[in-house]
Amino acid sequence: MSNKFESLSLDPRLIKNLNDLNFSSMTPIQEKSLPLILEGSDVIAQAKTGSGKTVAFGLGALNDIDIKQTRPQVLILCPTRELAEQVAKEMRMVARTIPNVKILTITGGKSEYHQSKSLSHGAHVIVGTPGRVLKLLRKKVLNLDFVNYYILDEADRMLDMGFSEDIFKISSFVPADRQTLLFSATFPQDIEELSSELQNDAIKVSVDVTHNESMIKEEFIELESHKDKMNALEAALANYQSERFIIFCKTKRICDDVADELYENGVVVSSIHSDLEQNERTAVLTMFSNRSLSGIVATDVAARGIDIKDLDLVVNFDLPNDPEVYVHRIGRTGRAGNEGHAVSFLTQNETDKIQRIEEYQNKEHELKGVEIFDSQKEYKVRPEMSSIYISGGKKDKLRPGDIVGAIVGESGIDFKDIGDISITNVMSYVAIKSEHVKLVCKKLNEGRIKNRRFRVGIL
C-alpha cells in the first residue's frame, strides 16, 4: 500500500493543506493507524512522542466534521495542560484549510469563566485535561451528546497521574456508538484493561516504540549511594558540554534540589513538575524551547508533551522501574540522524532495574564507574538567548510584528538578535540575544508597544 496521503479517502482540502505543509508521506504510525481510523475502527496505538500521532488522529477526526453543527463532535483528553495546548495547536495547523473549524482548549490553570463563555459560542473539537472537562460536564456547561470521536492521548500518563476514575466518568457522557482511539507510549496492563472497558473490538497497532538505538550512546554509571549522584551529574555535563539536555528525576523534590544546585554552579536550568503554577510551567517550557535554558530537570509526568528537537543528552538521575519508560526517555535524543547520549545513574541496590532494561532491549549494558568522566573539566556552556516577559498578549491585540517593531525601535538592536516570540492570552515571551537583554528590558519599560505601556522583565 502507498504511504502517500493521497492514497486515502481524505477531504481534498486536507490533502491540499498537507501538501502545503510539505507532509509528502505518512510516518509509520500514520500509515498503520489512519486507514483504520478512516474505516471507523476503534484503534489502540503505541507510538512515541514526535511520531506524528496527533496528525493521525487529527486527520481522521477532522475528515468527518460537520462544520454546520457548532457543537462538540470530537473530544481529545490529554494528561497535562502543556500537551493539550500542543495538541490543539497541531489540530489547528491540520485544519487550517477547512473554514470555520473551532478548536477549543479546556484545561485547568485557565479561567473557567472564559472557557464556559467560549463553549456557549459553540465548538467542533474539544481538547482538554480530565479534571477540567469533568468539572464543566457536571456544571452542564459542556455537552458531549454529539461526540463521534473520543480520543485519549498519552493514556498511560493519564493513568499514572490518577485520572482513571475521571476518564470513566467522562466516558459516561459520551455516546456509546462513538469511535474511540487510544494512543499510548507504553502498553502496561492497565492500558489493556482501559481499552477493554472503553473500546469495541479495538485494533492494536505498534510502531516506532524502541527508537533508533543505534544513534544513542548509552552509559550506565554505578554509584555507591544516592548522595554521589550530584557530583556524577556535574561530571557528565562537563564531559559532554551539552547545549540541550533533560534530566529525569523520580520526585518533584529531587527535581528542585538538582536544579537549584546546578544553577548555583552556573548551569542555566530550571525544574518543571506539577506543583508549579501554570504561568510558571509556561515560562519554563518557553525558555527551554527558545534556547534561554540549557536544560530542564523534570519528572516523567511533567516531561510528557515536551517535544523539543535537537536534544543531545538525556540523564536518568533516577532510573525508572518500567523499562518502557526508560526507552521512551532516551528516545528524546538521537533524532533526525543525529547522535545522542543517554547517561543513567544507579546504586548497587538498583541492579534489578538495569536487568529489566536489558531484557526489554534484548542487549547487555556494561556498568561503569564515574571515573570515565574527567573530574577536572567544568561545564562551560551558556545559553545564547535570554527571555523577557511582556505583561500583554492576545487580549491586548499584540502580534509578533508589534513586539519586534517596538524592540528594534526602542532599543536599536538588530532584528536578527530577536529569537522566538510566544504570545499567550495575557502574557508574551521573547527570546533576545543575552548581551542585549538588559538594554531591551530597560528601553521597553521606558517606551511603548502599540502606543501603550506594558510591564517588561527578565525571566
**pLDDT tens digits, 380-424:** 999 999 999 999 888 888 988 899 998 998 889 988 899 989 888
Quick one: CATH architecture of 5-206? 3-Layer(aba) Sandwich (3.40)
Measure the CA angle with vertex 404, ends 398 and 407; round to 5°: 110
Separation CA 263–CA 211 (nearest Å) = 31
What 8-state DSSP symbol labels residue 102?
-
- Owner of C-alpha cell 474539544: 126
Question: Fold identical between 5-206 and 385-458?
Answer: no
Predicted confidence (pLDDT) at residue 427 exceeds the cutoff of 80: yes
pTM of the model: 0.68
Separation CA 345–CA 331 (nearest Å) = 17
Whole-number pLDDT of residue 185: 79
- For 385-458, give the CATH class: alpha beta
**pLDDT tens digits, 77-113:** 998 888 888 899 899 999 988 889 999 999 987 888 8
**Higher per-residue pLDDT: 235 or 459:** 235
Q: 174: pLDDT confidence band, cut at 50, 70 and 90? A: very high
Whole-number pLDDT of residue 307: 60
**pLDDT tens digits, 161-170:** 788 899 999 9
Q: Which of 132, 106, 131 is nearest to 120 (CA)?
A: 106
Whole-number pLDDT of residue 247: 95
The ranges assigned to domains in the chain are: 5-206, 213-372, 385-458
User: What ranges in 21-52 are assigned the alpha helix state H?
Assistant: 28-39
Asked whether the beta carbons of 213 and 358 are under 8 A apart, the reply is no
For residues 299, 305, 309 and 314, what is the CA-based torsion angle, rounded to 10 degrees? 20
User: What ranges in 265-333 are assigned the alpha helix state H?
Assistant: 278-289, 300-303, 323-330
- Looking at domain 213-372, its CATH superfamily turns out to be P-loop containing nucleotide triphosphate hydrolases (3.40.50.300)
Whole-number pLDDT of residue 302: 62
Q: What percent of the chain has pLDDT above 70?
A: 95
